[in-house]
Amino acid sequence: MTRPFIKIVNVTTGQEIEREMNVEELAVYEQDQLNAQAREKAESKKAEARSAAEAKLIELGLTSEDLKALLG
C-alpha cells in the first residue's frame, strides 16, 4: 500500500516538494482519521437521539411550536 502524499511549499521561494508521508506523519494522519470518524459517529448518535425524542413528543400531541419552545 502506498502512503498518502504530503506537499510542502516554501512560501518565500515558491519551491514545492511532494513526497510520501513518513512514519510519524502517517501515524498522526491515521489518528486524525480515527478521531474524525469517532466525532461523526457521536454526532450521528446525537442526531438519532434527538429525532427519537422529537418523535415521542409528537406522539404525545405536541405541536411544532411546542417542540420549538422545548428544544430551542
> Based on the structure, what is the number of domains in the chain?
1
If you search the block for the grid coordinates 521561494, which residue do you land on? 13
Provide the whole-model pTM.
Answer: 0.61
Number of H helices, E strands in the chain: 2, 2
User: Which amino acid is it at 56?
Assistant: K
pLDDT for res 14: 95
- Domain extent, residue 32, equals 5-71
pLDDT for res 65: 83
**CA–CA distance, 5 with 26 (Å, rounded to integer):** 9
Q: What is the pLDDT along the chain (72 residues), one digit of tens a residue?
A: 688 999 999 999 999 999 999 999 999 999 999 999 999 999 999 999 988 988 888 888 887 788 778 777
pLDDT for res 54: 80
pLDDT for res 1: 65
**CA–CA distance, 72 with 48 (Å, rounded to integer):** 17
pLDDT for res 53: 82
**CA–CA distance, 16 with 7 (Å, rounded to integer):** 7
